[in-house]
């Protein structure tokens, strides 16, 4: 694989889990942009946001995305808000297949509530359901615009999702 496979989508859609498995299947590297940001800042997302606000986190996220525009042979799991960096995506799309992972909001709520909420600060200060509805409304048009294709992870196990993406990617490449 010469280009990138970039997974986008809201929190809880399985980008990291699917990304790791897909990278193994294709024999490529796996990059999680949130993990890369945390390594650069030597802090958790929560600590970065406490120190620098979401603006500081987003600045570093943009830097990571710009670096990845030159990468090859990798599967990239982005943070849910990576699509907000509209100026970076044209460059990324030159070398990438972009897959939008999605799921019904009820499934996302279950998954997000199972996660340790201490690790991911609120974006808006609102409750999970209200925040999710607001953020999805803002981001869904961006996900839709960027995606080469969409996969509903609420209807498949992670390995099934990986197989489906692999089959689609084989047709594209």
Helix (H, G, I), strand (E, B) or coil at 69: coil
Return the CATH number at 71.
3.40.50.300
Inside any domain, residue 155: yes
* Residue 172 located in a structural domain: no
Kindly state whether residue 171 falls inside one of the protein's structural domains: no
- Among candidates 15, 6, 1, 30, which has minimal Cα distance to 147? 6
Strands 96-102 and 29-32: unpaired
> By residue range, what is the domain housing residue 101?
4-166
Identify whether 57 is part of a domain: yes
The candidate with the shortest Cα–Cα distance to 125, out of 60, 54, 57, is 54
Distance CA 45, CA 32 (A): 13
pLDDT tens-digit profile, the chain (173 residues):
568 999 999 988 999 999 999 999 999 999 999 999 999 999 999 899 999 999 999 999 999 999 999 888 899 999 999 999 999 999 999 989 999 999 998 888 887 777 655 455 555 566 767 778 888 899 999 999 999 999 999 989 999 999 999 999 886 65
């Amino acid at each position: 694989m010469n280009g990138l496979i970039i997974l986008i989508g809201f929190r809880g859609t399985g980008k990291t889990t699917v990304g790791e498995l897909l990278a193994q299947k294709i024999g490529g590297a796996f990059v999680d942009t949130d993990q890369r940001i945390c390594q650069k800042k030597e802090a958790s997302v929560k600590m970065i946001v406490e120190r620098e606000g979401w603006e500081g986190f987003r600045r570093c996220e943009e830097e990571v995305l710009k670096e990845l525009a030159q990468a090859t042979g990798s599967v990239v799991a982005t943070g849910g808000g990576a699509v907000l960096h509209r100026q970076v995506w044209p460059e990324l799309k030159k070398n990438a297949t972009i897959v939008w992972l999605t799921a019904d909001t009820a499934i996302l709520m279950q998954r997000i509530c199972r996660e340790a909420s201490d690790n991911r600060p609120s974006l808006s200060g609102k409750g999970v359901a209200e925040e999710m509805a607001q953020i999805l409304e803002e981001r869904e048009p961006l996900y839709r615009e960027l995606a080469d294709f969409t996969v509903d992870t609420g209807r498949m196990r992670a390995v099934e999702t990986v197989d489906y993406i692999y089959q689609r990617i084989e047709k594209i490449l």
